[in-house]
Amino acid sequence: MSQRREPTFGDAAASVAPAGTEPDAAATHVLPVVRRSPPVPRRSARAAWVGLALGAVVVLAFVLVHWRGAIGARLAPSAPQTRLQQQAAAALRAGKLSSPDGRGARELYQAALARDPDDLSAREGLVRVANAALAQAQAAIDGHHPEVARRDLDLARDLSAPVAAIDRVEASLRRQTGSEAQLGELLSKADAAAAAGKLDGGDASALALYQQALAMAPDNALVLDRRAALLSRLLAGEGPLLAKGDLDGARALVERVASVDPGHLDLPNAKSQLAAAVQRRQREQDKMLDRADADLRAGKTDAAVATWRQVLAQTPDSARAHAGIRAAAEAFVRQGDRALVLLEFATAQLALDKARALAPDLPSVRLAEQRMHQLRVQRSGLGHDARDTARIGQLLAAADAAMARGDLVDPPGDSAFDQLHQAVAIAPGDARVIAANHRFVATVNTCIQSAMTDNRLGRATGCLDALATVRPAYAALPSLRTTLARRWLDYADERIGAGEFDAAARAVESAQRLAPRDPAVAAMAARLRQARGGH
């Protein structure tokens, strides 16, 4: 068994074989020897790198030595430079962009640049100053200070602000300069009008011109001050108006000023004076109305009418005065009826003329005139029994037809009321006329109740007036008047709550005519006055 040999390289194997041994056959085939290039020595590469590093160090040292001042200023600015920039920033925040004493933001930043032309933060500070100058210029334009705006624009231009931004602000300044010229012209005209006493009324008045000026410049302090002074002059005219009793003129004056400037300083006092005058007027009128009512009860109808008319001249919508006028008309109708009983036609005609002048729509006036006409016909001998009998039949038939239609008090001349009273004037004792009267009273009672149920108070009042004329002594008449008056007061209360004061006044007037002495009527009239005083 042959012994294993370890592989060898070329002749090296033979050199180590034991002496005297024969080489194995397999050992005679050896691996080929590979010849390699000798490696580059590492020491030379290392030397190249060291050379480069030394060169860089030399360059860096040169830079540091040559520019050591500039670099030091960047990394650690000098104390004077820092103070200048801090002062400049403070001036910029305070809006002190430029100052002849050198303490403005522009001058301080420029001083910093003079010390160090490469100071980037100082250059950026000047850019901020330019932008602030543009902003201040626009604010000055908005505040109507064109000279300040021009100064700030010049500063922005000196600091090389963007041309587009400068152009925009300059265009705004040009527009305002034109508006300022128009504004100045308007103010001159307004001042002249005020000096001439043309305070208000018309386009050429001082107030109208000031209003035009404010439309152009709503926040202009000068225009606002002059308008406020003018409004104070207007309100100063309230005292003379109140002194001569012109409450309507004073109220119109206060309302005019309030419509122009609700917050005017003199308005609260003016409103207070007006309210006090209204209360004084109301107390005076209440006394006058009480006196008129007393005159009417005493039979002094003409004196009562004169007082009511005096009240209406001051307060045209006085419900109590209107009710008094209608009550006076009824009193004149009664005077006329008493004169007719005595066949005093001239006296009766005078009384009825007064009644018609006061209340031409009063049904009792129309009926009294018809009675007087019929009595005159009878007294003249123009009436004949046969003709009267036929006429009575026609009138009663027409009255029944009108009652069937529901035409109890209207239309005038064709109503059941008018037809029946013509028959009464001809033959008041005729059985047919008396029966027709009973039918009419029953129908009118039904009309009153149904009209009140349907809340048709005007129709109910008309039916009640007809009943009072036909049957003045009707037993249920007082209670019907009171009930209907209370219904009118309920309606007045509703209208006051809805703010419809004119409708409420008419309702109170109707209630007053029905029940003039009812305390509830006086209370509602007082409530209406109070509600109107608050509006």
Q: Are 392 and 427 in contact (CB under 8 A)?
A: yes
What is the pTM for the complete model shown? 0.39
Q: How many CB atoms lie within 10 A of CB 481?
A: 20
The pLDDT score that the predictor gives to residue 305 is: 92
- 38 has a pLDDT exceeding 70: no
CA distance 212 to 422: 69
pLDDT tens sequence across 179-218: 666 778 888 888 898 888 888 888 888 888 888 888 877 8
* Pick from 330, 331, 285, 329: nearest CA to 308: 285
Q: What percent of the chain has pLDDT over 90?
A: 18
Single-letter amino acid code for the residue at 384: H
The pLDDT score that the predictor gives to residue 336 is: 86
Inter-axis angle of helices 247-260 and 221-235, to 10 degrees? 170
Mean pLDDT over 318-338 rounds to: 90
* Average pLDDT over the chain, rounded to an integer: 80
Six-digit token string for 133:
């100058």
The pLDDT score that the predictor gives to residue 186 is: 83
pLDDT tens sequence across 65-110: 555 545 555 544 568 888 888 888 998 999 888 989 889 889 998 8
The pLDDT score that the predictor gives to residue 489 is: 93
Domains and CATH numbers, the chain: 78-161 (1.25.40)
Q: What is the dihedral of CA 235, 236, 240, 241, to 10 degrees?
A: -10
What are phi and psi for residue 185, nearest 5 degrees? -65, -40
pLDDT tens sequence across 466-502: 777 667 667 788 888 999 999 999 999 999 988 889 8
CA distance 294 to 288: 10
